[in-house]
Structure 1
Amino acid sequence: MMTKMREMSFIFLWILVFAFLGLMVLEWGADITGRTRYENIVGKVNGRKITIEEFNQVLQNAYENERQRLGKELEDADYKRIQDQVWENFVQQILLDREIERLGIEITRREIAYHSVHNPPQVFQQIPQLQTDGKFDIQKYRQALRDPQFEANVVTFVAQNLPYQKLIDRITVSVMVTEQEVKDEFMRENMRARIEYLGVPISRIDFKTIQVSEEESRKYYEDHKEDFKIEEKRVLRYVLFPTLPSKQDTANVYRLAEELIEEARAGADFSKLADEYSDDPSVKNNHGDLGYFKKSDMVPEFAEAAFAARPGEIVGPVKTQFGLHIIKVVDKKREEGIDMVRAFHILLKFSPSALTIEDARDEANLFAEIASEEGFDQAAQELKREIKTTPPFMNRNFIPGLGQLEGAVRWAFRAEVGDVSEVYRTTTGYVVFELAEIQPEGYRPFEEVKNICKNRVISEKRKALARQYAEKIRDQVAAGKAFAEIAAADTSGKVVHDSTGFFKYGAPIPKLGLSVDINAAAFALPMGKASDLLESPQGYYYIRVLERTDFDEKQFAEQREFIKQRLLQQKQFQVFQAWYEQLKAKAEIEDYRYRFFRG
């Protein structure tokens, strides 16, 4: 049992990453102006509420940890990825905690003490001070345990994680690895082969000579109808309330730019101004210093202003696609015939103010109320708003023209035609939907896919003809005739003969692609003996092994246990993952993140 626990401890630590997340500024995507309308929860998992406060506490720390790991400011894609990860961690921990409670899993002080000493958690094994020559040193670890604070940290970690390890042990206890699986993995890693082949590639069969009747195409359609299945779709009408910068917001940015220019020209430290005011994410690392750059390195408006200025001159505001720039040129030089400028800059982005965002949200809420009571068209008429319609879309968390809107898609696939949604936040504003149409699942009509069916029938016929040609030379191959001689005697122009480079056991074969049959034969055939006819994605072939590494029994004995443990861990992970996905599929999960975050 204890050995099993040791094996499992580092495989599934990802489950408990949740316990170490937690600290981040809600600087991306949060609607800090409009939460009072909703209950203050981000979601529910089997009735357990996740509040915005606890979610953000974890989210904040996750963002900060990622910033430190990357050594730079995060991009929008990073924020969304981490937010999704934190959400999944919440869901996972809640579901696993419920299972631990349901199964009555408990831990004792003796178990905690044992694992704290004899089963060092992987996260502590990564501490450099506990390593010797880059490897974990158990003696240094046990020496560190004499420090009461370190011991308390380890004990706390083990106490938090041990129930999950016990749960995992119950789920994966029946997982086994066979001796053949270990041998196959050893062969994949260590064995190589090189072959010659003789056969008929499908490409040698001219598709122009293949005739296909409409009856054949129709039969293919009927036999493969599931290939042409159409999922259920939805069509939405919607009104978007953009959160674009207002005229006043834009004027405020220009006003701030002028004030900063005045301060900078009066002698204020430009780097400190950049640190305090610049919206450029890189300012935390470079303090506004862009270094030396060529004219072509920058957008035209910025480059023209920077290269026209004299060293020491402060110019701006310069408007580009990124916002307003205040530029301080500090040096100019010519390097290898190219003019270079070194400059500092402050970027001020045009962004909507809290008031602008609040106005858009309030109008969207008003629209939703009117639409629910008087109808969507009436609401649009009263508020003088344009109604747009989405193309049909599937249940994929994505709405064409609006992007990722998981909550809205879930609503669309639960609503009835004519239902009006609540207000959703997008990357560009607030949106209210009406379900306009439900398109049931079905099949694409034959006329629409007739050419697809015809081409697939042609492919099948070419494949069959390639096999027929290859079978004509079977007797010559069986008689032991040289492949080169058989190919030279062919008058059809269909038969090819060639050899491959070395390839691994179980891997694709150069020139022939991924063929399980050919690969297996290459490592099973006696040297020099021809195979029977084998299939590959490219055609039909006979093979002979030219070179092959032998199965090294001594090397296998040395690696056997390591390979077995690695395969066991992989299978345990797969079993646990499958179990967890089933658990999650049965759970009642309500995701309200769209009320607080963009996208």
Structure 2
Amino acid sequence: MLDFLRKKAQSTLIQAVVVVIAVVFIFWGVGTNLGGSRSSVATVNGTEIPDTDFSRAYSQAVDGLQQQFGGKMPPGFADQLGIREQVLHRLIQAELLRQGGEEAGIKISELPVRERIAEMEVFQENGKFSLQRYKDILKQNRMTPGSFEKGLQSDLSADRVQELVGSFAVISDNAAARWQAWTDEQIKLAYVKFAPADFESKVAEDEQELAAWFEKNKEKYRSEPKVRLKYLLFNQSDDEKEVQIPEEELKAKYEQDKESYRQPEQRHARHILFRVEEGAADEVKAAQRKKAEEALAKAKAAEADFSALAKEYSDDESNKEQGGDLGFFAAGRMVPAFDQAVFSMQAGEVSGPVETEFGFHLIKLEEIRPENVRGFEQVKDNIAAGLKRQQAKALSFKRAAAAYEAVMKAGSLDKYSEQEAGKVQVAESFSRSERPQDIPADPKFLDAAFGLKKGELSSIIELREGYAVLFADDVQEPELPKLETMKDKALADWKKEKAAELAAKAATDLLAASREKQELQTPEGGTVTVTGLLKRMAPGGENAPPDQVQSDAFKLAWKEKLPAAPVQAGEAWFVYEVRERQPGEGAADEMTRQRLSASAKHDLLTAWLASLQSKAKIRISGAALRSRDDEALQ
């Protein structure tokens, strides 16, 4: 649950459109046109989307990605995923939503904003709103009352617009019943599998056909380029042994980087979740809140065991058995409402119900780990290792530069080798895919090696762990082989392809015969496999064929028993017959109705936004198109 909460809080990639729009409104107040004095990434019907809003949204998206990749993300990765375009698209949608609400006459006054703030438990003391607590919590989160209230006003407006548009999405009883019947349908299949491997023995070798096939496919047998190298290697690890860092230098480095060793305040919390699915009916939501309030009363009782209550009540299966334990985390790592509640509590305090997009939470704050700075003795070894690497790298470069100069003076690497016996290493001809073990695996080494022409000396190549100087003693260009040199492999590949053709033909012939007889026929020397009842929404089951076959079978009209064509799954072909169908009961449960309703509302809102966008005058500036990876990672 901890990782899930963190991702939901910080990754804009995995959130639904409606949720993303709400988040944008809360934090950045998109849509306030302050005039043309500041730069903007886009304008929507004349309203600017400021560059600052885009930068914040983009930074949050990249930060979410970084956390999902363990804090390390390759340069340019965000651009490859199109994060800039996605963030800009969502900001534009948020502005369209705001403008659409205005056109619909939806305006939120200051009164409901104040009422909502007063209702937020995180701002209350002894059950009443506390102005001082309100200011303190906003200050802790680097927000002002003005910006928070403006964002909340936009958020309430967005909620009202979404509610209004969603009210037109009605799921009738008949539609829900039809959906339930469709999802609950079950079928029993009989099928025959035709695997190419079963036909390889039937492929007769034909020299003439093999030669023609090889001529057509010979490009895939083209050899890799090879290079024979002579090279000098200057390993950083060799120089690290010689480096000694004085204590004074370590302390000076510590003082210089002291802020980087500062650890923010962390809090250890447990929670009990009363889950509410997205789009749940008001009655369901009210029932879950009531259950949370009843459990809260028990949790606040004297001698209450919060961990035991979590095991009994919590809907969070990921940590229920651990008593709802979320471990230690810093501010800003959870969804906002949860995060604000935890960081406004005292150790030992139980709070709730706190409402988030997951439902209602009861929270117990177990322990507060204050902000601190790691001491010199704690980080001394790490500092020493870092400085050793830096200084060793410098020494390695110094040795490489001296050797390179000596090669130039000697006139060639061979003559240098005569003067410095044993320093030049030799790698016999090799390709990228067959690298000798003593050759560095560093891509820069291989790129440099295969970028040289015969007789060419490289410059000094920087590697991850040192430096190298390379000389291409010989280069073998890629060649197209003759059939005689590749016959065994070519023959095996040709037989495999022919066997696949035979398998496909056998499947086609069996299906034709079966359709003629109106039932699945048993192939000569083959077998028919019969399944148990298979469920549409739960692939698998007794003797079940691959998912592609099951999916195809469920798409058949009820009067059809045989497919129009064999189904390919992986390398094999399948011919099947629907032997039995069992329709679903058609009685949609409350959970199904909620999901259908939520899906219909989401689809309607998306379509409405698309309609607004098609009519809108949208201008995108170049500021939104430049790469921001470096900016976001700073």
Q: Same fold (TM over 0.5)?
A: no
Structure with larger RCO (C-alpha < 8 A, sep 6+): 2
TM-score interval, normalised by the smaller of the two chains: 0.3 to 0.5
Q: TM-score, normalised by structure 2?
A: 0.41
Q: TM-score, normalised by structure 1?
A: 0.43
